[in-house]
Structure 1
């Protein structure tokens, strides 16, 4: 290797992380394991100041130690974006338009944008990558998405974890994967950006369905049938909306991500659904959780898209009816039984 190449190898990659939640905190921890300098934007100035003083996020994953040599926190987004190579979006999808409202396409020129968001832009029924392309004229070849199976809480505990990075530009996905690989995490690259992104959205809706059935008192047997049927619904949806010959839905970026979200105690969408099944209203469940369940917003978008394409998705429809049409959860799940095999 030449002297110049050796020098470049030693220069840290500059990355901006936008968002102060649990997944953003986990990503900061993961990136800190490698030769990366992180500029971390957090909305609340009090959290920024706390992290600068105590090297811990006071609101999420509070036990994670933040490395001050590698991480600098910012309350002004434009300062966090200056001079970075990668921008990681890690705020809830519903807040993306308001979070980025003061930016323009110049802020993204020459930068790679990574979506760590597993949701859709409400009302517009757009994936985050599509919204970024429309709002900032950002080419899909400059974007990639992060998929699981991986929960922030297990990253905090340094449990062995895996991530899937998807981009139409496989070299971009591979380069970003290299920034994430560490002693407790492995990332691999694929090109199916839309397939991975849609699957990540739908699996949150399925996790809500699993939570609802648990809250109603259904057991493991029913959940196994529910999840296996959900995988079939994902295939039906993707085959119509974005078909891809070489897509392997049995791999970890699809099936694995679905399973961990459907079954894990750390799944906020499953928790949200469980509360609905136990009789909470949507509003009261949201207030008590104090976290965003992406599936709540996503189910309306996926339901709308499926109607446009005349796709029959019984699980999606059941969850939509429960959370938006205020259908009785037990009656809706009893009706769903007839569609499951």
Structure 2
């Protein structure tokens, strides 16, 4: 990686996590093309140097960051492409791109969700659709909330790739004065864990909305860690320490933090909101809502014991009453 020449990065997405990642990248010797769907937001950033829709207090360094609303223009000449849109919208965001437009580039997924209906991890879907070799794929994992990055609070990221050089290069891109990064090779374990922790956060929110206390939530999260291990080991057997920050740490911050949109969504469901009204109240995507359907479908094949995931699925997709579903769940937790 050249020291004197800025690394060229494309950021795909205009939400809070994309905004936070742009801020992190701007701390380093990086030139960013930032693709946003909304032309009004793009014009606002050009004029005022901040995103009017998300993390509006974050000042954007417009000397290093150029906004763009045409996806082909945004990826042209880039070395890295970071995907930071909700998983349900990845296909739409990349519409118009062909494999040759991403040829030779490293693709970084900052998405903690699954492609709906296809029931695929984002990395698998992108690799398949655009012929990206595995050694050019990586994922960004937490524990890290966009809101705390905006406040420049000390944060930690784990970068996973099957290729050690790719993981190290991406880790270097994102390491700055308030963010520590660690490269690892367990891309599937980390990506599945990141998907599942959103489902667990939904469960935590639902119980909070129903009036359960901290004692129950502690039991729920400890059982969830075992559930994640059973599932990930069945899908992708590998020696891994799930007490690491990319696994347990990411689960804890998502399950407990008031910044967690999945926990917030679950809390609204527990309080009696419909799915539609909860989504309207938040005005943001809770990845766990889509992910639980995909994980439930995958588990029909591997048949792992997943009582927490099953309870959330029944509430969100089979219209089970939250109180009844959680009453049944508490009988099987230990």
Q: TM-score, normalised by structure 1?
A: 0.97
How far has the Cα of 1:162 moved from its partner?
A: 0.1
Residues 33-54 of structure 1 deviation map (CA, whole Å, 9 limit, x = unaligned): 0000000000000000000000
Q: Give the SS at the match of 1:339.
A: coil
**How is 1:67-106 mapped onto 2 (pairs within 5 angstroms)?**
67-106=61-100
Which residue is 2:207 aligned to?
Answer: 213
Q: CA deviation at 1:239?
A: 1.1
Partner SS, residue 83 of structure 1: coil
Instruction: Note if contact 2:268-2:278 (Cα within 8 Å) is conserved in structure 1.
Output: yes
Corresponding position: 1:229 with 2:223: yes
Residue 238 in structure 1 maps to residue 232 in structure 2: yes
- Give the aligned partner of residue 307 of structure 1: 300
Q: Using the TM superposition, give the Cα deviation of residue 140 of structure 1 relative to its aligned residue in structure 2, in angstroms.
A: 1.4
Q: CA deviation at 1:317?
A: 0.1
Aligned residue pairs total 334
- In the alignment, structure 1 residue 55 sits paired with structure 2 residue 55: no
User: Could you tell me which residue of structure 2 aligns to residue 18 of structure 1?
Assistant: 12
SS, match of residue 248 in structure 1:
coil
Shift of 1:322: 0.3
Q: What TM-score results when the alignment is normalised by the length of structure 2?
A: 0.99
- Matched with 1:157 is 151
Name structure 2 gaps, 5 residues minimum: none
Cα shift at 1:332: 0.4
Which deviations, in whole Å up to 9, do the C-alpha atoms of 1:225-251 show, x marking residues without a partner? 000000000000011111102x11000
Which of 272, 283, 292 aligns to 2:265? It is: 272
Identify the residue that residue 291 of structure 2 maps to in structure 1. 298
Compute the RMSD of aligned alpha carbons.
Answer: 0.8
1:139 aligns with 2:163: no
CA contact (8 A) 2:7 2:31 kept: yes
**1:101-129 Cα deviation digits (max 9, x unpaired):** 21110011110000000000001100000
Tell me, in whole angstroms, the C-alpha distance in 2 between the residues paired with 1:61 and 1:258: 23
Moved more, 21-30 or 127-136: 127-136
CA–CA distance in structure 1, aligned partners of residues 195 and 267 of structure 2: 18
> Which secondary structure state, in structure 2, belongs to the residue aligned with residue 291 of structure 1?
coil
SS at 1:307's partner residue? Answer: helix
Check the 8 A contact 2:72/2:96 in 1, yes or no.
Answer: no
Q: Partners of 2:237 and 2:78 in 1: how far apart?
A: 34
Stretches (4+) displaced over 2 A:
none
